[in-house]
Structures are given as C-alpha cells and as structure tokens.
Structure 1
Amino acid sequence: MKRLLPFLMLTLFLLSLTANGQRPSKNEDSSIPTNFNDATKSKDKNGIKNYSEIITKDAITDTGLFSVHKIKEEYFYEIPFNKLKKEMLWVSRISQLPQGLGGGYFNAGSKTNEQVVQWTRFQNKILLKVKSYANVADSTKAIHNSVVVNNYEPTLFAFDIKAFNTDSTAVVINVTPLFNTDVMAISGLSARLRKEYKVKKLESSLSFINGIKSFPENIEVKQDLTYSASEPPSFSDMESISLQMNQSMILLPKEPMRPRTYDSRVGFFTVSQYDYGSKELKADQKTYIRRWRLEPKDSVAYANGELVEPIKPIVYYLDPGTPENLREYIKQGIEEWQKPFETAGFKNAILAKDAPTAEEDPEFSPEDVRYSVVRYVASTTRNATGPSVSDPRSGEIIESDIIWYHNHLRSYRNRYLLETGAANPSARTLNTPESEIGEMMRMVIAHEVGHALGFPHNMAASYAYPVDSLRNGAFTQENGIAASIMDYARYNYVAQPEDENIRFIRQIGPYDHYATNWGYRVIPSAATKEMEKDTLNHWIRKHELDPKYKFGRQSSRFDPQSQTESIGNDPIIAGDYGLSNLKFVAQNLKSWTSDQTNDYGDLEELYEELLSVYSRYVGHVVTNIGGVYENLKTPDQEGYVFTHVSPEVQKSSMVWLQLNIFATPTWLIDKDILLNIDHAGYFEGLRKVQERHINGLLSFDRIGRMLDAETTEVSYYSALDMLKDLRTGLWSEMGRGSNVDIFRRNLQRTYLDRMAFLMMDNGPEKRYNGSDFESTFVFDVSTSDVHTLVRGELKTLRSRLQAAKNSSVNTITRYHYEDAIARIDQLLEPGK
C-alpha cells in the first residue's frame, strides 16, 4: 500500500492539471497541448515565447472571430483553440484595380477566388489548409476513407507558433508574411494575366497590409500589391501593376442548411459535389441551388397556406454615401422582391434599411459579414453587380453586396433615348426626368438583387411575349416587356410613335414569382431533400407549355429564344420595328443633343452607341441562321431538347440581313453628324459593324450546326444554301452590271478575308465545356465539308468576277474586281 500511495498521488496531480486546462472537444484539433503550463514557458526549445513578449503593450487589438493585434507594421492572429478545424470560407476580391485590367472584364468588387479553409495545428506550426467539397462521401461509409486519402488537401500557408495566450485557450501567429507574399491562391492576378502582362515578381517594398478588421463572424483584410510587369495594361512607363485586394474569411454555419437539388429547367446559381457514397455505379454529381436560408417563424401557419414572416429576413443596408435623391429608388428596387417572396409564402422576407449612424450602432461596418449592403461607388465605371457568398456544403447564401457604380445611369439614359425616343417623347432629351431615371435605377437594383438571391440571367423571358403585344399599352402596363426582370430586356424598342400608354421600362414578371416559389418555398411534407423532388417536378410540369415560365440559359448563344437585349418572339418583326424607330432617332439626334448643349461631345457618344444598338438588332436575326432552339426538359416530357430553326425562317433571315445590313444603310451616313464628330473614319465605322456579322455568319460553329442538320432533318437550310445566298447578295452588283460603291467594296473585301480564314484555319483545338456553360461544340474542321464548301464558293465567285470585270463598270469597280480575283487566286493556288 505504501508503494501505491506515491503513484496514486502523482496520478491525481496529473489529472488535476488536465482538469484545470481547456479540454479539446471531439471536433477540435487533437494536437492541442493538454498541459498548457508547459506550453507557455518564457521560451521553450521550439522558440515559443511568453504571450507578453509577443503581444506587447504597444499592440492595437481588434476583437472578433479572432483577436487581431497590430504591432508597428506587423499583424498577429490570436486563434482560439475552439476555432481550429472550423470550416471558413475565404473569398478574394479585387478592391481597386488599374484601368484596363483583364481587358475591361474586371472591376472593383470582382471575385478572383473562393475556397473553404481550416486552421489546424501540426506540432509547433499552425497550418492554413484548403478544404474541398468537390469530392465527398458519407463519413459512416467505408469509401469515406478512400475519398480522404485520394483527395489530400493542400496547405496554403504555414506559420510558426509565436505564443499561447495567458489562459492557454488560444494560439498566436504572425500573419504578416501571408499577406506580404505572392500567394497565387489569394492573388488578384491569375496565371493568364501574369503571362499576358509579363509579370516578373511581387515588389515587396511596394506591397503592404492596408488594414485588418475582425468581426464576430468574419475577418476582412485589405492588402496593397504591386507587381513588376513588362507590359502592364496601363501606366506602361511604370512597368508595374498595382491593385488592392480584399480578403474575406467567413465562419461557416455549424449546421449546414438543407440543400435543394438543382433542376436545369429553373434558373439558379449552383454549387456541386461528386458523391462517392452514391448507389450509382460512378461518382454521382450532386448539384444544389444557391439561396438564402428562409425559415418560417410559424411553421404551422405556413403549412396551412398563410403568409408568414421568416425567422431571419434578408436585409440590405444602404451605403451611407448614397446620394439622397436616389435612396428611395434603391430601397424600392430591393423590396420589389417582396411580392415574389409572398408567392413563396413569406411576408417581409426582404427589407431595405438605411445604415445606422455611429450613435445608433458604433459597431456597424459594411465589411461585417452580418450585413449585406448596397454600395454606391464613386467611379466612372458604367456597371452594377450583385455578387454573393455561399456555403459550398449546402448552397446557402451567407452575404451579398450589391455594387452600383455612379456613371451607370448615363448608360441607361443613352439607351433610353436611342431605343425609345421615337415612341417616347420624354426620352428625347439629355435631361431625362428624374422620376424616369429613378424607375430605371429601381429596376436595375431589382435585377442585381435577383442575382444576389441566386437567380442567373433568364434570356428566354424576353421571348415569352408576342412582338405585337409590346405595342399594346394595357398589356405592357400589366405584364411589362419580358416575363422576368432577370433578362437583358431593358427597354421596349418595339413600340411605335402612334402607340399609346406604353410601358417602356422592364419590371418584375411572372417567371420571377414562379422561380422564387420553386427555390424558396418550404415543403412541410418533405423531411429530406430527396423527398422534395416530386413536388418540385410537379411545379415545373404544371407550367411546361407556357413560355412565361421557360428558363433560357445565357450561354445558349445558338438559340434565338435566349438572346441578350432582345424582346418579342420574332427577331425579324422586332428588328423591323426597332430599325424604324432607330432611323427616326438618327434623323433627330443632332437636334436632341448638340443643338441643345452647343457641344458635340454627347452627339459623338450617342452616335457610337446608336451603331451598337443597330448591331444588336441585326445580331438577333443572325442567330436564326443555323439556329437551334433549346427547350430544357426531362425524358418524361414530350419532344426534343434541341430543335433546328425551320429552313423558311432561316431563308427569311438571310433576305432580311441582305436588306438591312449588307445593303449599305445610308440612313447611318449623315453629314450633319459625321462631319461634326471626327475628321476621318466614316466608312470604317460602318464596315466594322458589317464585319462583325459577316464573321458571325461565317463561323465554324454556325456552319457545323448547319451540316449537322443534314444528319437529322428531312428539310433543312443547308450550309451550301447559306453560303450561296450570302455570296449572291453580297456580290449582287455583278449580276446587274452596276458599279460598286465604297461601302460595298469594303464589305466584299471583308467577306474575302473571312473566307480566307475559313479556308486556311482548322478551328480551335479545344473548347471549354462545363455543366453551367453550353459551349459551341467541337468538330474536326479539316475532315468536314467546310473547306470544300469554301473552295467551291470561291471558284464560283472567281468565274463570275472574270466576266463582270469586263462589263461596263467604272474604273474603281474594275480595279476592285481584279483585286478580288488576285486574292482568290492566292487562296486557291498559293504557289502559283
């Protein structure tokens, strides 16, 4: 017994030490030391120091998810042990950027990466690990271990442990090296941009941490980075690229929201995983929609069909810098979505509020992930965006910031004047009435909020209404100009000057109510996501034959039903109305602009945009040729997913194009405009528009689709038919023996250049094709009929040119024909 006594006393002593320290839970890092007295010695052999030696009295501390300490120019994270191995979403965004970065496709707020991370301990280091949900399996299944060992997750950065805090509940690391080092995973410059701008290295002396803020559920870092680059997008003499990054680290919910399975027939942004625990004979891809977590306060009343408030509504705060005269319109745009949410059974589901003052809430910050904000950006950028951050485990949207750039309203004013000015007298001015500007802003905000709610563009919504219904005042007032606010159908350009009581600006439509109900309505009878499927499918099938409830992908660029900036269900008829209006605007453009301002700046700007509007109307008709309708459906629905546009519509479209784009549009050649905006370039501006559509018609993709039609259709408009009709129309002067004017000569040479491209090129080696993007398909150009058809057309053209050059034409026409013959000879017989 005497021998056992010392042993028992030692055991009790050790147990008391363990009891006095913090015990890690099952979910926490097992590497956390249990004897913290040893861990916090003044300095052990691993270089871990006393807390007060690292976090000195000079430290400026910000408490939150982690305590962040700033000491001079260095930043330290004090990470609680109970936050180790917690899943956090790391979002990298460009906060400020140089002009022209990415060819104009990046702007302030652009997201460059999004990844799940965990902070873990390994010996005397803290590792920042990237965790992937791309491949998953139920942890109770044997295959889960295989998924783990075959998908080892990378380490983003490793930090030495500097100290433990005074009560041994947290570890201290210096995070300065992470943000002062060129870490690709959180960088604003992708490998492609680095190659394009010949980036050499990060200039450490010109890069620094701008600031770090810690909030209860997130940490926000601003870092300024400067790279040396031989060919930067701007400030070329500096040979450098500077940008500011915002790094957000967001604690994910402890319990993921129940996901809702995605159905391609209803438009939602998504998250995807490969489930190796599936009963399928392969890794089964699971795709879930992105949506906010809306749960009814009173589930019984909700199940009985009553409107019920959500436990946690979606709230957007207005940026304090928002101009006073615009605030009400922004609030209205946000709360436009209250009605669609009522369709889903929720009242007051989305709210707009002014940001609290410092007196009302001194802790409020737009950077805090608990607050979603409509940010008003003083920038010359003409854009608005609706990005959001979502949980990759479930698709739950956690936070979003709508970004409005100050100059965006100018774009809307210009489009309003150009597209509606003929039928809408109030649009015939540079000083659009504030109420109408406000209505435009309200609907732009509603559109961007739609993105932030999980909705992508629905480009089929503008095809839902017959063209002539858009000339009916009662119809447009009730239904708007498209079935969804999520289409790019900004204005009613179809309505004519004699039409009355027309709505010209878009609005929330029936599809928005339908999609909100489909994605957000709680299904009380379903206990799991699998049990929801029959109900969700029933809701779709109930409306399957009604075009108002059709979803059309923006990426389906071969589909005339799903086009950007188009309205009405017939591009030819809509194009006729649109061009009639545009001609009226062109005749009056000078009197509406320079005659009023005594300055030609607005005239020049609007004329350039008028060319763009004209080009869009033409492009809508081009899509008919070689077009394929895409009607997303499941095998239990009748009909095909893909259907070729009828040969009659394609032929009519070619006739329309010959009349409206390839025959010189003389109404665009106005001396009163051209001679007042530039000294040169009059014929080139028009040629560029024509070139765009020549190249669009004569593309590998379009010709390939037309060749495909020969394999599945009895009646079709063949690639040979299209090429023959195009050649005949473009070179019609030969048949008439008439002279060719400068515009047609340029157009004909543009045609020869494109035919040369088709003759010599074999198309791209590979194309991107993902589940959320329907790319142009791939076929082997060299073994297809493409080169054969082009060669045949060029030989026919050469023969006719030989005869035409000797007819009674003027000298420049003869020279032009001889030059065209020489160009064709070089293509057909290059060595001769």
Structure 2
Amino acid sequence: MKRFATLIYLLIFATSLTFAQEIPTITKKTKGLEKHEGYFNYYWDEASGKLWLEIDKFDTELLYVNSLTAGVGSNDIGLDRNQLGDDRIIRFERRGPKVLMVQPNYSYRAITDNQKEKQSVSDAFAQSVLWGFEVVAQEEGRVLVDMTDFLLRDAHDVSVTLKRNDEGNFNVDKSRSALYKKGTMNFPKNTEFEATLTFTGSDAGGQVRSVTPTPDAITVRQHHSFVQLPDDNFEPRQFDPRAGYFGISYQDYSTPISESIDKRLITKHRLKKKNPDAKISEPVEPIVYYLDPGTPEPVRSALLDGARWWNQAFRAAGYKNAFQVKVLPDSAHPMDVRYNMINWVHRSTRGWSYGTSVVDPRTGEIIKGHVLLGSLRVRQDYLLAEGLLSPYKEGMSFDENNPMLEMALARIRQLAAHEVGHTLGLAHNFAASTNNRASVMDYPAPKVNITQDSTLDLSNAYDTGIGEWDKVSITYGYKDLTNLPSEDVALNNVLKNAIDDGLLFISDYDARPEGGAHPKAHLWDNGKDAVEQLHHIMDVREIALQNFSETNIPQGTPMATLEDVLVPMYLYHRYQIAGTAKLVGGLNYSYNLRGDSQTGPEWVADSKQRAALDAMLQTITPEALDMPDRIVDLIPPRPLGYYDSRELFNSHTDPAFDPLGAAETAASMSANLLFNTNRAARLIDAEARDSTNLGLGDMLEKVIEKTWRQPVSKGYQGAVQNTINHVVLFEMMNLASNEGASSQVRAVTNLKLEKLREWMKMEAENHAEGEQRKASLLYGYRMLEQFKDKGEMVMPTRTLDPPPGSPIGSSDSTFLQCSFR
C-alpha cells in the first residue's frame, strides 16, 4: 500500500513538473499582441480574433455584470438596447492548470470574527462556479487565460428569452459571432468587454419577424464588466417597510438566538455631507446621472428637467447640489458601471420603461443606477391629448403653442423623475395620488379639468416637481446621521412625522386591480375619492366622445386612423374602474409596526362600497357604452399600408368597424374586475362578520338587476344591452367554475346563476318582445343548462380582449424587483 501511494505521489509530482516546464511565460505567449492595461490587463490577437486575459487577482472578490448593448427592438420580447443583465460578486481561484470563476453565496452569512463559524456557513450552502479557464501562460504569480469562449457565450440568456416568449428556437452561431473591439476597454477600476453575437435557429415568432431583417439570424451585442468592489466605508441602512425602499436580505447565522436571523437593508447610493454639522451641506461626492446623448430635443431638455427634480428632495434631506444630471460625454460608454445612465430606447411598439440598478449584495450600495425610457411613450401621450382635444380644426396652427406637445413633455418629465427614483432605491407609492400628488413614484393619470363651457383643459395634466412623500423617503435613505445620538430614533422620527402629516405609502401588490383591496392605492388615478373621480372621468369621456370627429386627426390622414385615437377615448375610464372596483370588498390598512400608533385593518365603509358598486354598474349601461352613428360612419376599413394592429379594438365584423365589439370589450373590463375571486371571498367574509355589510349575494343580485332584468330597448341600444348581458353571464359562470375560488364563492354564485336560469326561461316564454331579446334569453338559458349539467362552460363565446392598456404614459417592471434578494 505504501509503495502504491508513493507511486501516485510521484506521478502527480511529475505531471505538475511537466506542466510547469511546458507552460510559457506571459511575456512569450503575448509577444506581438496588442496589450491593454487596466484593472485586468488583456491582450488582443487581431489575427485569430482571440482575447487573452491576464489574471493577477486571486481570491479577491470583484463584481461581474453582463448586459445587452444592442437589442432586438421588441417590447414584448424584452431584449432592449442597453439593458442590464445579472450582477454578481465573483472571485478567481487557481486550481493547478485551471482557474475557476466562483460566485460566493451571499444569501447566507455569519458576520463574526470566528473564522471557523464563517467557514461552517460557507460550506453549508452551495456556491456557483460560473466558468473554468485553462491556464495557457504564467509569470510571477499571474496567469493568462483565453477569454474568447466566455465572451462569445449567451450570458444574457437571449435564446432562453426567445423560447420563453414562443419566438423560436435559437442558439449562438459562433461562425457569425465575434468580439466587438469598440465596446472593449480598460480603466484602473474596471475592465469592459463586448461581443457581437448572432443567434440562428428556426420557428421565428411574429415579434422576431417584425423587427429583424432576416428572421432566422438575430444579431445583438452583449457586454461584460469586471469591476473593483467599493471600499468598506459605505454605511448600510436598515430596511423599514414604511419607508418605501427596495432592499436586500440575507440570513446571518451568527445572530444571537433571541434575535431574528433575517437581516434587511435598503438599496441606496453612497452619499455623505462635507460638513455633517451644517443644516445644508455640499456632499463629499455628488450623485451624478448621465442622459443618453442620442435623445432628441425637445425630449432631451424635458428629461434633464424631470430628472433634476430630485435635487428638491436631497435639499430637504440636508444637501446642496447632491444630485446632478448631465449629458453623457461622447468618450463614455453607457454600460460602463462608473456612469449612472438615463437611456432613450427605441422599440417597434410602445411599452414599459425601467429603473434598475447594479447593487453590491453585501451592503445594498447602489453602484450604478440605470434607466431605460421607451421612446414611443411620449407619442402615446400625444395621441391621448389629440383624442381629448379634437385639435385639428380648420385654420388652427400649433407653430408656437401646441397643447398636445406640452402635455406629452410634462408627462416625460414626470416619467424621468419616476424611473430615476427607482434607481435611487425607491419603490412605487400608489397611494400618493390621494395625498395631493405626494410622490412621483405613483403612476399618474393626466388630470383633465372641465371648464365652465364644457371644454377640456390639460394645462394641469401632470405635476411639475417632486412630492412631499419623495422628500420623506429620500430623507430616510440619505440623511447624514454622523453626529446624531441615535440613528434608529432619528429615522423613526422621519417616518412618524410623515404619518402624523397624513402621508401614505402603499406599494405594488396592494395597488394592483386583480383582487387588490386597498381603497387609496390605485394605478393611473387622481383625487382622494375613487367613486367621485370615476364620475368625473366618465364626464370627461362623454365630452371627448361628443366632440369626436375628423378633427381628431390632421388633414391628409386616412380616415380609418380615427380608430387609433378613438380607442383610448372610448376606454378612457379603464384605469379608474380598476381603482373603484377595489372599494368593493375593500380593506383599509397600512404597513404598520408594533408601537407606531397606526391603526389596524378595517373594512371600507359599507356605504362607500355600495356607492362604488353603483358607479361601476353605471359603466356597463347602454347609455355609457353607446357608440354614436356619427362616429361609426366616420371610420372605414383600413386602407392599403395601414393594417390592423393590437392597438385597435378586436372585432366580430372585420373589416368593418365593430361598435358592439367595443361595447363588449368595455363591459367585460368592468365585469371582470367585480367578479374577481379574492374580492368575492372578501365580500362573503365581510357579510359573515356583519350581516348589514355588502355581501357577494347582494352584489350579484345588484348586477343581475341592472343588466339582465332591465327593460331592453329596440334597435342599437337594445343590442348593446344584450351584449352587456352576455358579458355578465360569461363572467359569472367563469367565477362559479373557477377552481381558484373558495367553495362558498362558487356556491353562492351557482345559486344566483340557477335562479337566473329559471327566470330566463320564464321571461323568454312569457314576456320577451322582439327577436333579439328572445334569442338573447334563450342563449343564456341554454348556456346555463349546459353549465348546470357539466359544471363548466361548454363552448362559450369568449369576450373580446381589450387593446393593450398600461403604459398609457408610464409603467415599469420594478414590481418584479420588490422581493428581497
């Protein structure tokens, strides 16, 4: 056995010795190559197209970020120009002839001086080896590796994204891919690489076909950054759910047993006062953002103005000139992590804007703020203003004063502030609209005033500065606490004072219309009272439709394009109904902590719930959904070159415009919101606790009374009523058969449907007048007969889907980032 062990040792020694003798020096291996010195030295071989990396930092943690510098151009696919990808801490480890790129696991830690305790946690949870390199040369503790394959791989998961969106099966074609020298550069604290990648494959989807010159070859550019981590002087700040910040979290296994193992920190930039004792002080280093130089005027000036609003909040937190916005110099690269960026991004269709960040996972420090603004958003707001104003009357000129452009630019200022806010660490505050526009972190609907002569005024459509809540949140996150006796007390006082002033903070999940319950947190709304605001919105909609004519489009424009302007006008109430529906079965609450004196959850007052239900039912009356003949007669089928798009109404009558289809679409939006499974369950719970409260049975009875049991007029309005009735029936059956609904919800809904079925048969036999009415009743009866027998809908006519809604002028994906990392 000893002889065998000795033999093995000698073989290993001989192999290592041979490797050490055969491997060349870095100087010899790179002779004649183009050397670039910086954070990591690298060498470019023009002849072979290879890039060699010199690694001299072993077992030293650094930041690795991948991103996309040239994208696909489709909002639906989501692969945008200058899109950030993953950011992670890594380290290089030498293992004989190999170098491993290792990602440590920062979700589980032991913050202690006991090295053995630290090691026990490190060994307990998996790490990730991201890549393995073969050493091809070495010299004085440094090694050389071939980076080419690492840089030419699909680091941004383009192929995965395409497949997930049913856009085809694609993979990197190395024969059509190469390093991109223009985007490869070196600096003292960061090394940047870029590669042109071509993805080839099959079964290209419609979105790919719409944005690529040759659908089976998709060429993009991917960027890789290796960055020195910041020093240890950053001061993390504790997360508080009332403060409105994103955060990071981890488990600290060295925590005393009496304390929580879960640790939470907010994400924020580094900022300190030069003079901590001064009420207002210059910062040691300001936070500087850079605007994409490809942004055209007048949008460029509007974005600069809106982003600079944040200086108002930083001044409230005690700083002078702490937040600056400049145009990116031509010599800089937008994906260089040293630059906080506001990017102007083009896509083939309107879509989301984003505020994302590169964050140090150890501390929550934001290293790079990165905004992507969709360029078509400003045009959507312009279209909205055209619909509201019907501006193209004979003799009108907008050479000097263009109210549509002014409204669109006002919105883009607010959008710039909103998305930059996310990159400062801030989450949405969807309760701000009830606090006199207290935050740019809400989704603002345009505020449209009705003048005394019943015209629409857009002069105050969007706010013109930072809100009071924004000042509170920036003060919480960035206030210099250097000389304060207690940081915890100081920060708690910031939030306590805000609560005492009546400021509210409610974020994403609680504001979403799909089952949301909070009565004060909505998307795209204005005003303190959702019911009152819905009545106002319906009045604005009525005036816009009354004024709707050929003057909604410029001279020389195809008349068929009137539908493009009509859609957002006819569905102008779509966001306010989402807010109003949340009052039905609504629950008022806050993110209160024990001892902070905020009250616990309580049901929305019954009178308010019933008022909300009445307001919702007003949106599904024939009077509300009637499409005047004068509008229908203006809109011909689409001409050559102007094809149907998803921005238009779906239709049963192609190629003709379908007014009943538009009514069906609008009715389904209201009914779908009311018949949400969570809302229905809350109504059952509320009535069980107090029999005087609005219950699910009450709501269903009221809906049936205001739809199916209403007298039906002859002619067009009768057809609209029948359409509304079918929508209500479909949504009720959908609720009754929904496996996600509680058994009591399904039981109550089935009871009401059974009563409706019996009534339909009797009404059709004894009281129905006119063929349309009788046909409608018999159709409903037969559907409910099948439903009764099968327990599910059998071959129903599904309601028409509405055209895309958000973003009407803002929205973003940061809701997806709200979970702690």
Normalising by structure 2, what TM-score? 0.82
* Deviation (angstroms), 1:341: 0.7
Larger mean Cα displacement after TM superposition, 286-295 or 209-218: 209-218
Superposition map of 1:423-572 within 5 A: 431-432=402-403, 437-465=408-436, 482-494=437-449, 496-497=451-452, 503-506=460-463, 507-525=465-483, 531-547=486-502, 549-556=503-510, 557=512, 558=516, 559-572=518-531
Give the structure 2 partner of residue 722 of structure 1. 699
Whole-angstrom distance in 2 between the partners of 1:738 and 1:384: 45
The Cα shift of 1:600 comes to 3.1
Structure 1 residues without counterparts, runs of 5 or longer: 1-37, 466-481, 764-780
Aligned position for 1:164: 138
Deviation of residue 650 (structure 1)?
A: 1.5
Structure 2 partner of 1:775: none
Aligned positions of 1:592-631 closer than 5 A: 592-594=551-553, 596-600=555-559, 603-631=562-590
Cα shift at 1:633: 0.8
1:86 aligns with 2:52: no
Find the counterpart in structure 2 of residue 817 from structure 1: 777
Residue 29 of structure 1 is matched in structure 2 by none
Per the TM alignment, residue 371 of structure 1 is displaced from its structure 2 partner at its CA by 2.2
Contact 2:663–2:724 at 8 Å: present in 1 too?
Answer: no
Out of 37, 40, 44, the residue aligned to residue 70 of structure 1 is: 44
Which amino acid in structure 2 is aligned with residue 180 of structure 1?
L
| Alignment partners' CA distance in 1, 2:487 and 2:449 | 42
Q: Secondary structure at the match of 1:578?
A: helix
Aligned to 2:604: 645
Classify 1:198/1:641 alpha carbon distance in 2 versus 1 (closer, same or farther; 3 Å). Answer: farther
Tell me how far apart the structure 1 counterparts of residues 21 and 685 of structure 2 sit (CA, whole Å): 69
The answer to whether the Cα contact below 8 Å between 1:84 and 1:119 also exists between their aligned partners in 2 is yes
Name the aligned partner's letter for residue 371 of structure 1: Y
Matched, 1:130 2:88: no
* SS of residue in 1 equivalent to 2:548: helix
- Stretch of structure 1 that moved more, 571-580 or 597-606: 597-606
Cα gap change, 1:718 to 1:120, in 2 (>3 Å): same
Cα separation, 2, equivalents of 1:296 and 1:721: 60
Determine the structure 1 residue equivalent to 2:185.
213
2:287 to 297, 303, 314: 314
Identify if the C-alpha distance between structure 1 residues 235 and 154 changes in structure 2 by more than 3 Å, giving closer, same or farther. Answer: closer
Distance 1:744 1:319 in 2: 51
Looking at structure 2, the residues matched to 543 and 121 of structure 1 have their Cα atoms a distance apart, in angstroms, of 53
Secondary structure of the residue aligned to 1:308 is: coil
Identity of aligned residues (%): 22
More deviation, 71-80/651-660 = 71-80
Match of 2:323 in 1: 350
Cα deviation 1:338-374 (Å, max 9, x = unaligned): 12111111100011234446xxxx5x33333222233
Aligned to 2:146: 174
Q: Could you tell me how far 1:704 is from its partner in structure 2?
A: 2.0
How many Å apart are 1:458 and its aligned residue? Answer: 0.9
Q: 2:433, 2:528 within 8 Å by CA — same for their partners in 1?
A: yes
Residue 381 of structure 1 contacts residue 407 of structure 1 at CA under 8 Å; is this kept in 2?
Answer: yes
- C-alpha distance in 2 between matches for 1:810 and 1:792: 29
Measure how far apart 1:510 and its partner are. Answer: 1.0
1:280 CA drift (Å) = 3.9
**Length, aligned pairs only:** 737
Residue 370 of structure 1: aligned partner? 338
Counterpart in 1 of 2:29? 54
Residue identity opposite 1:580 in structure 2: D
Q: Is the 8 A contact 2:239 2:245 kept in 1?
A: yes
Does the 8 Å CA contact 1:458/1:551 hold for their aligned counterparts?
Answer: yes
TM-score after normalising by structure 1? 0.81
| Alpha-carbon distance in structure 2 between the residues aligned to 1:225 and 1:139 | 48
In the alignment, the residues of structure 2 paired with residue 667 and residue 428 of structure 1 have an alpha-carbon distance, to the nearest angstrom, of 36
1:672 to 622, 631, 634: 631
CA distance 1:513–1:235, shift in 2 (3 Å): closer
**Using the alignment, how far apart are the partners of 2:596 and 2:206 within structure 1?**
51
Asked if the contact 1:87–1:252 (Cα under 8 Å) also holds between the matched residues in 2, the reply is yes
Could you tell me how far 1:802 is from its partner in structure 2? 1.3
- Kept in 1: contact 2:108–2:253 (CA 8 A): yes
Tell whether the 8 Å contact from 1:261 to 1:288 is kept in structure 2 after alignment. Answer: yes
1:490-522 deviations in Å (ceiling 9; x for gaps)? 421355456999633223111111111111101
* 2:66 aligned counterpart, secondary structure: strand
Q: Distance in 1 between matches of 2:106 and 2:530?
A: 43
1:787 correspondence with 2:758:
no
- The aligned residue for residue 7 of structure 1 is none
Q: Which residue of 2 aligns with 1:4?
A: none
1:388 aligns with 2:357: yes
Q: Deviations over 1:533-591 (max 9, x none)?
A: 222112212231433x2111122121231111011111111111122122212222325
- Give the letter for the 1:504 counterpart: A
Which structure has more relative contact order (CA 8 Å, sep 6+)? It is 2
**Separation in 1, partners of 2:346, 2:74:** 18
Cα distance between partner residues in 2 of 1:370 and 1:233: 37
Offset of residue 396 of structure 1: 1.1
SS at match of 1:393: coil
| 1:152-190 deviation digits (Å, cap 9, x = unpaired) | 31101100011125xx2532111111233356xx42354
Cα-Cα RMSD: 3.4
1:740 Cα deviation after fit: 7.6
Q: Distance in 2 between matches of 1:339 and 1:714?
A: 50
1:586 to 533, 545, 552: 545
Higher alpha-carbon deviation: 746-755 or 736-745: 736-745
Q: For the Cα contact (< 8 Å) 1:733–1:739, is it kept in 2?
A: no
Deviation at 1:315, TM superposition (A): 1.3
| Amino acid paired to 1:90 | Y
Residues 1:281 and 1:108: Cα distance change in structure 2 (over 3 Å): farther
Aligned ranges 1:610-759 → 2 under 5 Å: 610-638=569-597, 640-666=599-625, 668-672=627-631, 675-678=634-637, 679-710=656-687, 712=689, 715-733=692-710, 741-759=718-736
Residue 118 (structure 2) aligned to one of 144, 147, 151: 144
Distance 1:622 1:226 in 2: 46
Shift of 1:79: 3.6
How has the CA–CA distance of structure 1 residues 670 and 457 changed in structure 2, closer, same or farther, with 3 Å as cutoff?
Answer: farther
CA deviation after TM superposition for structure 1 residue 814, in Å? 0.9
Letter in 1 for 2:149: P
Q: CA deviation at 1:797?
A: 0.2
1:389 Cα shift?
1.4
Q: Distance in 2 between matches of 1:407 and 1:726?
A: 39
User: What's the offset of the Cα at 1:798?
Assistant: 0.9
- Equivalent residue letter for 2:470: D
Tell me the distance in 2 between the aligned counterparts of 1:384 and 1:235: 20
Q: CA deviation at 1:314?
A: 1.0
1:145 CA drift (Å): 2.6
SS of alignment partner, residue 132 of structure 1: coil
Whether contact under 8 Å (1:330, 1:445) holds in the other structure is yes
- 1:707 and 1:269 mapped to 2: Cα distance? 35
Amino acid across the alignment from 2:370:
D
Work out whether 1:199 is the aligned partner of 2:169.
Answer: yes
The offset of 1:616, in angstroms, is 1.6
Residues 287-318 of structure 1, C-alpha deviation per residue, up to 9 Å, x if partnerless?
1111111111123x33xx2x111111011233
Quote how far apart the aligned CAs of 1:762 are. 0.8
Evaluate the alpha carbon distance shift between residue 171 and residue 641 of structure 1 in structure 2; reply closer, same or farther with a 3 A threshold.
Answer: farther
Give the match's secondary structure for 1:741: helix
Could you tell me which residue of structure 2 aligns to residue 153 of structure 1? 127
Q: Is 1:92–1:247's contact at 8 Å kept on the other side of the alignment? A: yes
Residues 587-628 of structure 1: per-residue CA shift (max 9 Å, x gap): 223254236454436532221222342212222212211222
Q: Distance in 2 between matches of 1:323 and 1:723?
A: 53
Superposed displacement of residue 750, structure 1: 2.4
Correspondence for 1:23? none
Shift of 1:804: 0.9
